[in-house]
Amino acid sequence: MCRVGLDLYGLPMADVAKVRPFVRWGAAAGGHPAVLGLVADDGEVRPAIDMATLLGAPTAAGQTGGWLVILAAPHKIALRLHDLPVAAEVEPLAQEDAGRARVVTGEHRDKLLVTLSARELLAHTKSFPHGGAAP
């Protein structure tokens, strides 16, 4: 779970391989406006995508610092967040509120979040290869 702009978002833990500090990256030619550049992780090069830009939220000044959420296979993407993401249990809301959940543990208890999946999140970023994209 993470805050992006004024909203809370959550990815299933199954979509996350690991989280690490965002320290440095290399340039990437053209592509989607949310792509910050390329990062190396365990010998693999992945595009680093700024979550705030991808979700249309305001972004902090500069593109340094923050955290990388390395997505699990088959996705070959790292998501850059400004704040450290945290794990929490959530409870899905009623069917008419699909895509939203109530946080039931941790510092954000009783707040609502938008539930995402890596597949849904990356579906409209077809301008670069990342594996596992929606058709």
pLDDT at residue 29 greater than cutoff 80: no
pLDDT in tens, 80-111: 999 899 999 999 998 777 889 999 999 999 99
> DSSP per residue over the chain, as a string?
-EEETTEEEE--GGGEEEEEE----B---S--TTEEEEEEETTEEEEEEEHHHHHT----SSS---EEEEEPTT---EEEESS------EEE--GGGTTEEEE-SSTTTT-EEEE--HHHHHTT-TTS--SS---
Superfamily (CATH H level) for 2-122: CheA-289, Domain 4 (2.40.50.180)
Question: For the chain, what is the mean pLDDT?
Answer: 85
pLDDT in tens, 116-133: 988 888 876 665 555 544
Give the pLDDT of residue 59.
72
Domain ranges of the chain: 2-122
Give the pLDDT of residue 87.
92
pLDDT at residue 1 greater than cutoff 60: yes
